[in-house]
Homo-oligomer: A and B are copies of this chain.
Amino acid sequence: MPGGKDQPIGEFRIAPDPQATGLTRQLTGSTHSGETVSIAVIEERPLTIFLNSTEILTAMTIGDYPEFLALGFLANQGMLDDMRQVTGVDYDAESDAVVVRTVDKTGHEEKLRKKTRTSGCAVGTVFGDLYESVESVKLPDTKLRVSWLYSLAATINRTPSLYLEAGAIHGTVLCHQDLPLVYMEDVGRHNAVDKVAGWMLVNEVNGSDKILYTTGRLTTEMIIKTAMMGIPVLASRSGFTAWGVDIARKVGLTLIGRLRGRRFMCLAGGERLIRDADYRNMQDEDRRHRRKAAGDD
């Protein structure tokens, strides 16, 4: 798998590759003026995740990093704690399937019977008991410098991405202080988070000093996944849901939303903010780097 521990620190371990083959396709259509044009459109394809011999579910994904997606999904569902349990991860492009093999049967296969359909883009499936397991999570009381947030948002918005190439895609970035480390994109914002979680699992990366940045809304499922990853800060350009805020407050997750230019709202963990940035000298977000409207759901 790419993006291993041996890559240099101080730059992206994984960044989007807008020119990668197979992630977008040129399609022809017509514009409002009747002009025939060809545009880059993002791919969406099924990927079925198996845990040993049990089919867990089929995700609709752009298709990069299938192993990270499978491992991260299982970890975020509480079905996998550690790579030492894993004896193999086999991706078969022909059948659009990933099989994660573990030493012992995990017993989590049974949990399949209770599923939750959630408000996440792509991949809206959370298993019923997750809401209970996340309540026992207690995240560390990590301080957050506001200057890091501003720096991260500026860097991420300017990084070449499939979003800038084709739109209609979400991004999630694992960061340390003001440094973005792993930038995943996917048609489903939950897939992007799961791919980050898979990378963390494989590389034994601890979440306690990290920040997770997402372009998506701060719904319950996003907040539960972040808590399961042990990351104490979740920041987004987007808005909140009330239950999401409730859970964040309960588990000790610092929750920053509507982060655009110098503006943001903090609805959980505000006491951990170190307000070291002089927002008065900052511009509001300039148009060129603004993500497009609701469109990008």
Task: Show the binding face of A for B, using Cβ within 8 Å.
Answer: 24-25, 27-34, 37, 39, 41-46, 55, 57-61, 114-125, 128, 146, 163, 166-168, 170, 187-191, 215-221, 236-245, 258, 260, 262-268, 270, 273, 275, 279, 285, 290-297
Contacts and interface: CB of A to CB of B under 8 A. Distances in A.
A274 B130 CA distance: 50
A279 B121 CA distance: 33
A187 B44 CA distance: 22
B167 A297 contact: no
A31 B263 contact: yes
A119 B123 contact: yes
Taking each of A114, A189, A241, which has the highest tally of chain B beta carbons within 10 Å of its own beta carbon?
A: A241
Given A32-B146, A166-B239, A121 B121 contact: yes
Nearest to A36: B270
Nearest to A265: B29
A285 B190 CA distance: 30
Copies per complex of this chain? 2
B32 A116 contact: no
A264 B32 contact: yes
Contact of A263 (B25, B32, B117, B242): B32
| Secondary structure call for the A interface | mixed
Nearest to A277: B32
A167 B239 contact: yes
Contacts of A265: 29-31, 37, 39
- Pick the 5 closest A-B CB pairs, nearest first: A124-B124, A168-B239, A119-B122, A238-B295, A291-B294
A265 to B, nearest CB: 5
Nearest to A261: B32
A297 B122 contact: no
Contacts of A42: 239-242
A3 to B, nearest CB: 23
Contact of A60 (B37, B57, B191, B221): B221
A122 B115 contact: no
Nearest to A289: B293
B58 A128 contact: yes
A136 to B, nearest CB: 19
Contacts of A29: 265-268, 270
A57 B115 CA distance: 6
20 contacts: A30-B265, A30-B266, A32-B146, A33-B279, A41-B241, A43-B243, A58-B116, A60-B117, A119-B187, A119-B191, A121-B297, A168-B239, A187-B241, A217-B296, A237-B293, A239-B295, A258-B295, A260-B295, A293-B293, A296-B296
Contacts of A118: 59-60, 122-124, 188
A115 B116 contact: no
